[in-house]
Amino acid sequence: MEATPGADCRWHPIYSRCHSYASLCGALLQKHLLGATVEGKTVRLSPCFAGLEQAPGVVPTASGDVRISWTRRPDGVLLKVAAPRAVHIRLEPQDADTKVRPDLRRLATMEGHTKSD
């Protein structure tokens, strides 16, 4: 398809506007379901469970990726976080009625590989 800029050319390789639609779900997952906000070397977690059973994702930071997943269980929500040592994790649950059981693992980076402590 060839068109001038501004025409309905969502799939044109030069004038594509579909990237913003495709990447929006990643931003929504990080910000709303995982509730992750990066503030310098701190990742604030305020997840929205929204009646879902689980949600996994990765949040990029300057110090390395923070892997987050939560799973709803009968005794509450198990929130697993794997973060580099340099990243401070601050948990601020949105729903005070939901019991959150955090499981934080620190990652050490060695020669380009990440290993869990």
Q: How far apart are CA 47 and CA 45, in angstroms?
A: 6
pLDDT(86) > 80: yes
Mean pLDDT of the region 72-82? 94
Strand partners, 36: 45
DSSP state of 112: T
Domain count, the chain: 1
Identify whether 5 is part of a domain.
no
- Domain with 53, as residue range(s), is 36-116
pLDDT band at 91 (very low <50, low <70, confident <90, very high): very high
Identify whether 56 is part of a domain.
yes
DSSP character string of 15-41 = T--HHHHHHHHHHHIIIIIS-EEEETT
Q: How far apart are CA 59 and CA 14, in angstroms?
A: 29
- Burial of 2-20, coded b for 16+ CB within 10 Å and e otherwise, reads eeeeeeebeebeebeeeee
Q: Residue 80: which CATH number?
A: 2.60.420.10
pLDDT(83) > 90: yes
Identify whether 51 is part of a domain.
yes
Identify whether 21 is part of a domain.
no
pTM equals 0.70
Lowest mean pLDDT among 4-8, 67-71, 102-106: 4-8
Identify whether 18 is part of a domain.
no
Structure confidence by residue, pLDDT tens digits, 98-117? 899 999 999 875 433 344 44
pLDDT(41) > 60: yes
Identify whether 91 is part of a domain.
yes
Identify whether 1 is part of a domain.
no
Identify whether 15 is part of a domain.
no
DSSP character string of 64-94 = --EEEEEEEETTEEEEEEEEETT-EEEE--S
